[in-house]
Amino acid sequence: MKIIAVMSPKGGIGKTTTSDSIAYMLGQEQGKSVLVIDGDPQGDTSKTFGRYEPEGIGMSELLEHHQNVGGRYRTTELIQSTEYDHIDIIPANGYLMQTDMNLLLKQEENQVTRLRDALAEVAVAYDYCVCDCGRLLDMVVINILLAAELVIAPVKVGGFENEAIHNLQEQVDDLREINPELRIKGLVTMRQKNKTSLEFEEWMKDSSGFDMFVTSVRRSIVAEKASMRMQPLPQFSKNCIVSQDYRNVVHELLRELEG
């Protein structure tokens, strides 16, 4: 099972749309078996895949009460099916904030590797695991990054966004001491066809020093409409320009991860 995390410290740049679209396309269009992990206490990915429950069980129980740490749950008990044949999910809700606090207070060696250990139970059942991270590098996100092999970092035009991906790169470099397989790859999102946007895109891809996707994701109101409907973008509009862009991103991923 290949584990992909999607993370950015900046909001409003298409992080959840990116993770949900990639997961949907890997499952529904490529026929891969996909496990989605919602690592954001807002639960937007859980809502998109129709499995959000404010009082439901999911990621909090996986990290705090798994049998690996003396709890009652196995990973398989916390995975929920979705309406999509090839996609399952471990959902999240607001309790994930408390989970972060609880993990932070623990003085145990496995406090940052609990997700990795729990996912080992289902590694042969899925081709891909796609994780939507929260914006903060908290204990939940650290668990995700230490389980992953690739971090996809959406970035859009702007100085603050550029600084954010630099900071994320530094954090990933620090985590490589525990997970040497971890690497980061930038993805230009919300790209507009103007001089500033195109110059920024060219700099990111040619001069920034970051590993970047060749594909850039264009800006479209359709993506915002899909999120308002709480549907995966490629289901809401299969052939819109943003879906086409994410489809190309998935093709890049498959070439890179599967040869």
Residue 97 burial (C-beta neighbours within 10 Å; 0-12, 13-18, 19+): middle
Number of structural domains the chain divides into: 1
Per-residue pLDDT reduced to its tens digit, 197-250:
777 777 777 767 788 999 999 988 998 899 899 999 999 999 999 999 999 999
Residue recorded with tokens 């740049």: 13
Q: Residue 197 falls within a domain, yes or no?
A: yes
- How much is the pLDDT for 158? 63
Q: Residue 9 falls within a domain, yes or no?
A: yes
- How much is the pLDDT for 209? 74
CATH value at residue 165: 3.40.50.300
Q: Residue 67 falls within a domain, yes or no?
A: yes
- How much is the pLDDT for 219? 86
DSSP per residue, 157-214: SSHHHHHHHHHHHHHHHHHTTT-TT-EEEEEE-SB-SSHHHHHHHHHHHHTS---B-S
Q: Residue 26 falls within a domain, yes or no?
A: yes
- How much is the pLDDT for 110? 83
Q: Residue 149 falls within a domain, yes or no?
A: yes
User: Is residue 103 scored above 70 in pLDDT?
Assistant: yes
The answer to whether the pTM exceeds 0.85 is: yes
C-alpha span between 256 and 259 (Å, rounded): 6
Residue 131 is part of which domain span?
A: 2-252
Q: Residue 243 falls within a domain, yes or no?
A: yes
Q: Residue 213 falls within a domain, yes or no?
A: yes
Of the ranges 45-54, 67-76, 86-95, 180-189, which one carries the lowest mean pLDDT score? Answer: 180-189
- How much is the pLDDT for 68? 93
Q: Residue 257 falls within a domain, yes or no?
A: no
